[in-house]
């Protein structure tokens, strides 16, 4: 066993920063990502004049972020760079430890644990206790054994890199498979056999008439505002052929799209939320729903009666579509909630699986929908764009068959995803286990 202080010698080569001289400055990336050049700065703009100089091959550690993996070996290109007292630099005693061995040790769970234990202070600004760190005991084998161990670890890293490359390839193939499933779903290819077995279902043209009639009834009852007529679809606009019984339509013809309400400004006024218990779902909640099978299970905040009065409560099951920030993300409310005007709610005019089919279509065409957003800092689209998007609409009964088939296939995809992620985690854990075993304190 050796103290860390036995294999490192503190280096305090000081320098007084001079105006008119350029200095390279160091930064250390967290999560073991190495020591890099932060930039070059004129001494006149550097406020702390008493600094320290580093040399290639030295070990450097951030007092503040060491517990987050902010340490490493100074590379050649940082010869003569300067650092403040927030960093500790050490020369490595290569009669005791190979530099590559020590570099591997830096990334071991044992060393990270040492850094965490050596950090003192409040949650956000913990700093390394230098004495504790230097007195930490390391299981240090003789140099020949260090050399052999490095060979083993490097072999493990090579195998891990190959495994991760294969896993990434599998994830890419799986992503393409999911897109292919959705593409075949909205083109009617997944349900060709179903159509052959159900030749007498109501065609989509009749469904569109029923939707139009229901909208007219709601408008007459003053439960829905009159809608702006949508442009007719020309033959030149049709991108691909659809099955008999389907219809190309504007998305707005498939149901009712309405923007959420959040009239009060500022939107975060505490008077809207104090002691509130009415869920207020925003774009981030909709985007997160993809982790839960597109079921919205989180709420950004909770309105009170004042908040509800300037908004609107939507029932659970409502499909939400984001039109700002995260454009064209979709999800279904699992509880009654208010939504802001950066989210659009879809309500089917005729009961069925139209919302679920529509969600699949939006997921498939999300990239194309995003292209309608202007190139501004806060990308957004409007309700008019949503309503005018073209949609291949199947008969209502076939929509249910499509949704069931896609859900079945996506369940298989999720199982494959879980297996791939397990393989990735297992591969990473194997290398960490090797590192932990190599550097575990002797018993």
pLDDT band, residue 303 (cuts 50/70/90): very high
Are residues 122 and 189 part of one domain? no
Are residues 241 and 116 part of one domain? no
Mean pLDDT of 172-197: 95
Are residues 60 and 112 part of one domain? yes
Q: What is the SS3 assignment for 441? A: coil
Are residues 408 and 384 part of one domain? no
**pLDDT cut 90: percent of the chain above it:** 63
Are residues 364 and 231 part of one domain? yes
Among 117, 140, 163, give the residue marking a domain's end.
Answer: 140
- The structural domain count of the chain equals 3
Asked if pLDDT for residue 121 goes beyond 70, the answer is no
Are residues 389 and 404 part of one domain? no
**Within-domain flag for 239:** yes
**Within-domain flag for 209:** no
Query: Exposure pattern of 59-87 as b/e (b: 16+ CB <10 Å)?
Result: bbbbbbbbbbbbbbbbeeebeebbbeeeb
User: Residue 217 has what pLDDT?
Assistant: 96
User: Residue 166 has what pLDDT?
Assistant: 86
Q: Whole-prediction pTM value?
A: 0.71
| pLDDT, tens digit, 9 for 90 and up, residues 211-265 | 999 999 999 999 999 999 999 999 999 999 999 999 999 999 999 999 999 999 9
> d(Cα 101, Cα 59) in Å, to the nearest integer?
12
Are residues 357 and 300 part of one domain? yes
User: Residue 129 has what pLDDT?
Assistant: 77
User: Residue 107 has what pLDDT?
Assistant: 75
Provide the domain limits for residue 439: 144-201+396-443
**Within-domain flag for 414:** yes
The mean of the pLDDT values for the chain is: 89
**Within-domain flag for 206:** no
Q: How many helices (H) and strands (E) does the chain have?
A: 13, 24
**Within-domain flag for 109:** yes
Are residues 82 and 36 part of one domain? yes
**Within-domain flag for 208:** no
What the block records as the tokens of 282 is 């925003």
What the block records as the tokens of 279 is 């869920």
Are residues 367 and 237 part of one domain? yes
């Amino acid at each position: 066993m050796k103290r860390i202080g036995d294999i490192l010698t503190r280096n305090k080569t000081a320098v007084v920063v001079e105006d008119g001289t350029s200095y390279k400055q160091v930064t250390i990336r967290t999560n073991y990502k190495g020591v890099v050049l932060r930039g070059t700065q004129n001494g006149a703009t550097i406020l702390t004049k008493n600094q320290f100089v580093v040399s290639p091959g030295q070990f450097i550690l951030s007092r503040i972020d060491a517990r987050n993996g902010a340490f490493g070996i100074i590379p050649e290109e940082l010869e003569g760079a300067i650092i403040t007292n927030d960093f500790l630099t050490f020369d490595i005693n290569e009669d005791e430890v190979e530099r590559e061995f020590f570099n591997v040790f830096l990334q071991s769970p044992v060393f990270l644990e040492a850094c965490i234990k050596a950090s003192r202070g409040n949650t956000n600004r913990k700093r390394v206790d230098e004495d504790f760190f230097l007195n930490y005991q390391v299981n240090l084998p003789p140099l020949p054994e260090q050399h052999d161990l490095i060979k083993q670890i490097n072999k493990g890293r090579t195998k891990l890199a190959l495994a991760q490359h294969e896993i990434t390839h599998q994830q890419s193939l799986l992503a393409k498979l999911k897109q292919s499933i959705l593409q075949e779903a909205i083109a009617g290819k997944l349900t060709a056999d179903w159509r052959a077995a159900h030749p007498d279902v109501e065609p989509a043209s009749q469904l569109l008439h029923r939707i139009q009639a229901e909208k007219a009834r709601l408008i007459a009852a003053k439960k829905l505002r009159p809608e702006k007529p949508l442009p007719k679809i020309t033959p030149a606009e049709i991108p691909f052929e659809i099955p008999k019984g389907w219809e190309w339509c504007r998305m707005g013809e498939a149901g009712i799209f309405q923007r959420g309400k959040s009239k009060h400004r500022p939107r975060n006024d505490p008077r809207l939320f104090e002691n509130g218990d009415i869920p207020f779902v925003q774009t981030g909640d909709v985007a997160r729903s993809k982790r839960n099978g597109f079921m919205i299970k989180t709420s950004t905040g909770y309105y009170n009666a004042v908040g509800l009065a300037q908004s609107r409560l939507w029932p659970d099951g409502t499909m939400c579509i984001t039109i700002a920030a995260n454009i064209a993300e979709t999800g279904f409310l699992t509880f009654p909630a208010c939504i802001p005007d950066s989210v659009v709610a879809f309500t089917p005019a005729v009961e069925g699986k139209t919302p679920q089919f529509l969600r699949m279509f939006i997921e498939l065409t999300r990239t194309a929908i995003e292209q309608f957003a202007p190139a501004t800092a806060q990308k957004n689209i409007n309700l008019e764009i949503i309503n005018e998007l073209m949609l291949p609409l199947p008969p209502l009964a076939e929509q249910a068959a499509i949704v069931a088939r896609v859900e079945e296939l996506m369940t298989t995809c999720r199982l494959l995803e879980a297996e791939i992620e397990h393989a990735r985690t297992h591969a990473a854990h194997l290398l960490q286990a090797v590192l932990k075993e190599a550097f575990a304190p002797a018993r």
